[in-house]
Structure formats: C-alpha cells, structure tokens
Structure 1
Amino acid sequence: MTLDDIGNEALGKLTAREVCQVLREVVLGRRRMTKPGAQTWDEVYACLFDVDVEGWRISIYNDCDELDYCEQAVSPDGQQWDFDPGARTDPIALLSTWEHQSLERMLKAL
C-alpha cells in the first residue's frame, strides 16, 4: 500500500482496479448495464457515453466508435474515480483484450 492509496481511502476515492472489476462483472454477466440517456453509442460517436451499472454511474469515452477510456466512475455510495492523464492506467486499460472487445459490443448494443 502506498501513501497515495492511503490518501485515496481517506477521501473515499475509488481505484482503477475497483472500477475495472465492475466493468469485468458486466462482461461476465454478473451485473446489468443500462444507459440512462436516449442517445446510442453510434449517436455519440466521439464523445462521453454514460452508463449505469446497478447504481454505478460510469462515463466512457467513445472515440470514433471505439471504446477508448473511462473518464469517471461514481459508486452507489458516492465514492469516485476520475481519469488522470498523468496516471499510468485507467479501468478500461486493465481489461483483457477479450473483455475490452466484449464490453465494446455490449455498449454498441445498448
């Protein structure tokens, strides 16, 4: 555990791994993902796409019809994870190739 991890816990911040696990559970069919808005993945094309995963609010960047990165995630209890361009990774980058492709297909189908 690093000093940053302790600081994140104290502030109620989520880690990229925690958000990745939620997305992984969607891919594996253990959690249900819905879209709160009316726009489809194809309609946003190059913009943020919001989804709800059983109370988790997650914003994912659609880069010209390709799943790119996670911008933000807020858990049902209000803990938050935010994209940091200086960080080494984000929740989407932690997914396996198969999980990434499966999640992208699921987003397109919403």
Structure 2
Amino acid sequence: MYLDIEVESDAAVEEIVRRTRDNLEDLLIDEQVDFIEVRQQQNSLVLEMEPGRKVQLEESPFDRILVQFDETVDGDLVKLSIKAGRSGTRPQKFHQSGSGSVAQPH
C-alpha cells in the first residue's frame, strides 16, 4: 500500500511568508514598535520603519518567528528573505509504504 502526497512547495512558502508577516505585524504592535508597514514581496517580507527608528529583530520576542529568514537593512527598510534552500523549490511528490517506513521523494 502506498500513499502519494504532492506538496506545492511554492504555495507552501507563500503561506509561510504570509503567516510570518501577520505574526510579525501583530508582535510589533504588541511591543509598541513604531513602524509604517510590513508587506510581502514574493518570498520575502519588507518592514518599513518610522524614520530614525530601529528594531532588533534578532532578539526576543522577534527571533522566534524569524528563525527561517535572513535580514538585510537598508535605511528605514528591513528586508527579510527566506534562508537559502527554503525558496525556489518545485512541487515534491512523496510515497510511503504501509509498513510505516519513512516517506521518500521520487
């Protein structure tokens, strides 16, 4: 017996980025950080800060939701890109036998 599962990885990555955007925006509001907006651009996020304001995204509580992102700062803009190897993938198809063995891509 085999179970075929197809994962649309591009859609999955887009959903991860969308949820991360929502979580980051909520956390920034909860922490009373002055920012203009958090927007999604393909497989990355752009955080636009109020002029002259900074936020330490690598520190708690932000670090826990941004572990899979690399940060690039350009003035008042912070770009968060999914770390290498996490984006630009194609759909994967897995199969698993009924004996409980580990699913393998094919």
Q: What TM-score, normalized to structure 1?
A: 0.31
Greater fraction of residues in strand: 2
Greater fraction of residues in helix: 1
Which structure has more relative contact order (CA 8 Å, sep 6+)? It is 2
The higher radius of gyration belongs to 2
